[in-house]
Structure 1
Amino acid sequence: MGKNNVIKMVLAFSLALGSGVMGVGQAQANTAAQYNASTSYSTTTQGYGQWYYGQMTNGQYTDLKYNTTVKRWEGTNGYPWVNGSDMHPGDTSDAARKWVSPGKGTVSLSAVVRKRSGDGDGVVATIRKDSTVLWTRTLLNTADNTPDNLNNIPVEQGTVIYFSINKKDGKNFDQTLWTPTVTFTPASTTPVVDTNSISVTSHGAVANDGKDDLNAFNTAARAAKSQGKTLTIPAGEFILSDVLVIEGIKVVGAGRASTTLVSTNPERGSIDLKGDKVELRNLKHEYKTTVPRGNGAHEKNSITVRSATNFVIDNIHVNRASTAGIMITYGSANGTVSNNLIENTGADGIHMTNSTNAMTVENNVVRAVGDDCIAVVSYKDGADLPVRNITIRGNDVGYYSKARGITVVGGTDVLIENNKIQETQMAGVYISVEGSYNTQDVDRVKVNNNTIRYTGIQQPQNHPNVLVFASQGVIDNVEFNNNMIRDGASRGIGVWGTATIKNITFRQNTLINTNGAATTFTNGIIKLIDNIGF
């Protein structure tokens, strides 16, 4: 080959590196580019084209190993796995495709996702930026799901975008087509005017002046909605004298350690979320004073989700409320409650009721609350459907809360997975149909891979660490799999009540119990499979 031809080939290859579609191992941090998961897929190298192939276990990412026989990256015993176009979760780990930013700038995500089969119980698809959930959806059929509002997301060098698939309940038929594209735009060296947001300060709110900012917040929220922009709240303390309504917009603070909203009316201080695609992120909300719980009026909650759809509550610190910390009600659907700290409430930490559907509650810390930490409750009121399709995953709850840890008191299709539950006055996990509250039946609940320690402290109730109880209606198809149940204050596990309890399965759980009875099974069809300590 002639010398001139060699020079031409080198020049052409150099131009290709900066042409926009990245399929090479060395990314360009100062060049706009698209990174497609399929065209950049590597069978030999983690990190090729900024893409990695791994698994998420209890919120921690690790790389998978490539299997040359089946031509995919996979975990132990073949699951989870990731190939050029598809992903499949495992029993205890999510399948994860990871993209790492080559520099500072913004990214936009195109990420249509679809189950390959309409069979099975569905999967949970989630997109995260580092630990922050950007989008999540439960996929129950083969319809295309197109995440939106994933444009111009700020990133630093090393920022990670995760695309993960969770098995929901069982992993059969969970193969999922997902070939996202990440469009990276490097940061400009010249200052950029943010035209996509409105600050509350531009409409009269003043931080740290001790004066009521509610009118300024309301005016700014109306402007943000009419212009389709994000409402931002800078660092500092802002005063709210009444309920703040946020409808169909994104509200973002400077961080929950930086931005604080203080409600001064203990009877009316809730932040109400309404409409479609409403979001609340990165701030602290607290009441200056509280009053007794009384009738549990929603206006006394910290955050109330009222008939909202496709909503997000992320990285919020709730401190003090007369009733619940986060109340999700009136048929709200397709929501994510993640990475929040909730403490010192008069009622439940996180409460889902009144036909709420398709929720993911994950990576929250709930402590020292006045009732249950995380509760699913379905009342027999009017035409309410049961609370259903709920995933409660990776939460850390208890810390001397005044009732139970995680509860399903009426509800269907609930997954309680990878949570830590400790130091509650009543049972750590409570599955029930209660006559005193006139709740609906319970069906299809799975409690998997949780650690439940030292709960049931209060006497004379003497609840066990795990309690299934029915005083009316029917409980059926409840499974406890691979849980660590230890050091109960009063007892280990109970299945009690005089109403109808059908199939309750305990499979591969470990029970370490020194106080009271290890198990008290007084009702139900109990199936015990490969447990330790029963």
Structure 2
Amino acid sequence: MNKRKFLSGLMVLALGIGSFAFNGNSAQAAEVTKTYSSSAAFGMSQQGADQWYYEKLSGTAYLDLVYDKNNNRWAAPGGYPWVSATALHPDQNFDAVRKWVSPGKGTISISGSVKKGSSEGDGIVASIKKDNVKLWSSSITKTTAVTPTGVSSIPVEAGTEISFVVNKLGNSNHDHTMWEPDITYTGSAPTASTIGKAAKSTASAQNKTSSVVSVLDYGAKPNDKLDDYAAFVAAIDAAKTLGKPVYVPAGNYVLSDILTIDGVKVQGAGKFLTTLTSTNPKRGSIDLKGNGVELSNLKHVYQTTVARGDGSNEKNSITVRGAKNFKIQNVYVSKSSTAGIMVTYGSTNGVVSGNTVDSTGADGIHMTGGSSYITVENNIVRKAGDDTIAVVSYIDSDADPVNHITIRKNNVGYGSKARGIAVVGGTDVTISNNSVQDTNMAGVYVAVEASYNTRNVDRVTVSNNVINHTGIAKPQNHPNVLVYASQGTIDNVVFTGNMIKNGAHRGIGVWGEGQIKTITFNKNTLINQIGKATTFTNGNIKLSQNVGF
């Protein structure tokens, strides 16, 4: 909580100032003693009532919870964390906080025990903080009550914050914690002049506006090699509440876990100026969710990587999880254990533009999971561990094929280990004006694969691309361009105006035992290939005005 909360607390206090004792008719407040009961104040259902507040904490950033009248508790919009009259419950990213703000200068003593509300779960960490200094902390794994120690006769000033914090120990399952602290305060009550000054300060603070939410304001510190994850979580949460973008200034920031960006725009100072470094190679993805989410103008790098293994999305650099109207722009992806940019779970209406994707463990840019209406343009992809840009639709897991994808003006290859641009199951895909070079497998690949049980292919247009020196690997000996079906059906694939040159083994192939219907080649140029110009072993091949075959 910011000190501004003390100011609003004084206003609440002013309404009930009669509860304090004064010396006769003196305008000056005498020393008073009062016990502030957290459970008694809770019934007032407002922030600051009797000096109590209800918040969530990430790192050093305290953010307000909202009163949930249906459950009679203060909670985040998603339900967790929450604070009730008698208990607190954290979630995976935020601690649950009950906070008291001192009304004046004096001393306090804290009473009240804390215990787990259930024998289930792996336990919690309970803490008491004075401002940002920890007074007491204990890991609690049982339902046996624990009484905090060393929390008597604590000096406080007007505005001193006393926070009762419950954090997950391992995970947040079954972490509801019984804790009803009381604070006995002995000290001065605020004077009328103090209250007036506070109100003026509050108005001044409210007049300060910013168009962005900076991660620096929530505790992030660039270039100090310390974890900034909690500060980023808090800044993103605040930005969503305020309807503002998150700004990440220049510097290197450390992230220890998957960072979820839900319906918020996160923008750096530039992809060579702002760097996000993930330290957990198994859980380092930046996940994009919600409507209107954006990521731009920064670099994401893994400190170390692990083997691709099961290809889990948690090891991607960026994962788009069912987002709508999303954008990924001017981002530098440097290393990942699996994909560079993965678009999945039915994501729709997205743009992936102007990014550099380098040295991934799997595909550079991959679209799957029934995603649709995605434009991938002006990207550079090099040294991908698999395909550079891929559209993939699976029969077993995808309710719908990936559809309405535009892949244009990209520059890809440069030692990538599999195909250049691939459509392996999907419909209504346009591949135009791309440059593809130096890939181990085919430069452009259109296929239905039995080994991965992928869906059919229909309506793919490949036009005005330059496909140069691809299909390098032996013994696969892929041509520069390959249409292949080992099951299912491929139909309505049109190649127009492409420059296909310097094939390492062959020029163009149409192969496989599946059903290949109409494949059209119109006004393409094929030059300088090694081996056969074309190997057409299947399909209804239509040729018109081509050069070199």
Letter in 1 for 2:490: I
Give yes or no for contact 1:242–1:268 (8 Å, CA) kept in 2.
yes
Match of 1:330 in 2: 345
Match of 2:61 in 1: none
Q: Give per-residue Cα distances to partners, 1:356-409, cap 9 Å, x unaligned.
A: 000000000000110000000000024520000000000000001000000000
Report SS of the residue matched to 2:473: coil
Deviation at 1:514, TM superposition (A): 3.4
Q: Distance in 2 between matches of 1:382 and 1:273?
A: 21
Q: Distance in 1 between matches of 2:271 and 2:355?
A: 9
Letter in 2 for 1:314: Q
Q: Distance in 2 between matches of 1:423 and 1:489?
A: 9
Letter in 2 for 1:513: N
- 5 Å-filtered alignment, 1:382-401, equals 382=397, 384-401=399-416
Match of 1:488 in 2: 503
Q: Distance in 1 between matches of 2:309 and 2:364?
A: 16
Corresponding residue to 1:196 among 211, 223, 241: 211
Report SS of the residue matched to 1:311: strand
Q: Distance in 1 between matches of 2:350 and 2:435?
A: 22
The verdict on how the C-alpha distance between 1:216 and 1:473 changes in structure 2, with shifts beyond 3 A counting, is: same
Q: Distance in 2 between matches of 1:222 and 1:403?
A: 39
Report SS of the residue matched to 2:241: helix
Q: Distance in 2 between matches of 1:499 and 1:369?
A: 28
Report SS of the residue matched to 1:217: helix
Deviation at 1:196, TM superposition (A): 1.8
Match of 2:518 in 1: 503
Letter in 2 for 1:290: T
Runs of 4+ in 1 over 4 A off after TM superposition: none
Match of 2:201 in 1: none
Q: Give per-residue Cα distances to partners, 1:96-126, cap 9 Å, x unaligned.
A: xxxxxxxxxxxxxxxxxxxxxxxxxxxxxxx
Q: Distance in 2 between matches of 1:513 and 1:208?
A: 51
Match of 2:536 in 1: 521
Deviation at 1:267, TM superposition (A): 0.3
- 2:239 pairs with 1:220: no
Q: Distance in 1 between matches of 2:548 and 2:418?
A: 26
Match of 1:442 in 2: 457
Corresponding residue to 1:263 among 275, 278, 283: 278
Give yes or no for contact 2:369–2:398 (8 Å, CA) kept in 1.
no
- 5 Å-filtered alignment, 1:151-300, equals 195-300=210-315
Report SS of the residue matched to 2:325: coil
Deviation at 1:194, TM superposition (A): 6.0
Q: Distance in 2 between matches of 1:352 and 1:383?
A: 12
Give yes or no for contact 2:369–2:397 (8 Å, CA) kept in 1.
no
- 5 Å-filtered alignment, 1:88-99, equals none
Report SS of the residue matched to 1:201: helix
The verdict on how the C-alpha distance between 1:204 and 1:348 changes in structure 2, with shifts beyond 3 A counting, is: same
Letter in 1 for 2:216: T
Match of 1:301 in 2: 316
Give yes or no for contact 1:314–1:340 (8 Å, CA) kept in 2.
yes
Give yes or no for contact 2:404–2:428 (8 Å, CA) kept in 1.
yes
Letter in 2 for 1:456: G
The verdict on how the C-alpha distance between 1:406 and 1:193 changes in structure 2, with shifts beyond 3 A counting, is: farther
Match of 1:116 in 2: none
Letter in 2 for 1:522: T
Letter in 2 for 1:344: S
Letter in 2 for 1:299: E
Q: Distance in 2 between matches of 1:282 and 1:264?
A: 20
Q: Distance in 1 between matches of 2:366 and 2:209?
A: 36
Report SS of the residue matched to 1:299: helix
The verdict on how the C-alpha distance between 1:522 and 1:298 changes in structure 2, with shifts beyond 3 A counting, is: same
Deviation at 1:475, TM superposition (A): 0.2
Q: Distance in 2 between matches of 1:423 and 1:338?
A: 22
Letter in 2 for 1:236: G
Letter in 2 for 1:287: Y
Corresponding residue to 1:340 among 346, 349, 355: 355
Letter in 1 for 2:371: T
Report SS of the residue matched to 1:310: strand
Letter in 1 for 2:461: K
Match of 1:363 in 2: 378
Q: Give per-residue Cα distances to partners, 1:475-525, cap 9 Å, x unaligned.
A: 000000000000000100000001100000000000003301100000000
Give yes or no for contact 1:445–1:477 (8 Å, CA) kept in 2.
yes
- 5 Å-filtered alignment, 1:11-22, equals none
Deviation at 1:195, TM superposition (A): 1.8
Report SS of the residue matched to 1:480: strand
- 5 Å-filtered alignment, 1:342-491, equals 342-382=357-397, 384-491=399-506
Report SS of the residue matched to 1:461: coil
Letter in 1 for 2:320: V
Q: Distance in 1 between matches of 2:537 and 2:343?
A: 34
Match of 1:145 in 2: none
Across the aligned residues of Structure 1 and Structure 2, the Cα RMSD in angstroms comes to 1.0
Q: Distance in 2 between matches of 1:396 and 1:226?
A: 38
Paired positions, count: 343
- TM-score, normalising length: structure 1: 0.64
Match of 1:124 in 2: none
Letter in 2 for 1:452: I
Q: Give per-residue Cα distances to partners, 1:146-177, cap 9 Å, x unaligned.
A: xxxxxxxxxxxxxxxxxxxxxxxxxxxxxxxx
Corresponding residue to 2:331 among 293, 305, 316: 316
Q: Distance in 2 between matches of 1:194 and 1:482?
A: 54
Letter in 2 for 1:221: I
Match of 1:42 in 2: none
Q: Distance in 1 between matches of 2:284 and 2:423?
A: 28
- 5 Å-filtered alignment, 1:77-116, equals none
Unaligned runs of 5+ in 2: 1-206
Q: Distance in 1 between matches of 2:290 and 2:353?
A: 19
Q: Give per-residue Cα distances to partners, 1:301-351, cap 9 Å, x unaligned.
A: 000000000000000000000000000000000000000000100000000
Give yes or no for contact 1:491–1:513 (8 Å, CA) kept in 2.
no
Q: Distance in 1 between matches of 2:496 and 2:529?
A: 21
The verdict on how the C-alpha distance between 1:194 and 1:516 changes in structure 2, with shifts beyond 3 A counting, is: farther
Q: Distance in 1 between matches of 2:345 and 2:518?
A: 31
Deviation at 1:193, TM superposition (A): 7.3
Tell me which structure has the larger Cα radius of gyration: 2
Q: Distance in 1 between matches of 2:423 and 2:529?
A: 27
Q: Distance in 2 between matches of 1:453 and 1:413?
A: 25
Q: Distance in 2 between matches of 1:356 and 1:312?
A: 14
Q: Distance in 1 between matches of 2:208 and 2:329?
A: 26
Deviation at 1:281, TM superposition (A): 0.3
Q: Give per-residue Cα distances to partners, 1:431-484, cap 9 Å, x unaligned.
A: 000000000000000000000000000000000000000000000000000000
Q: Distance in 2 between matches of 1:354 and 1:510?
A: 35
Report SS of the residue matched to 1:504: strand
Q: Distance in 1 between matches of 2:437 and 2:343?
A: 24
- TM-score, normalising length: structure 2: 0.62
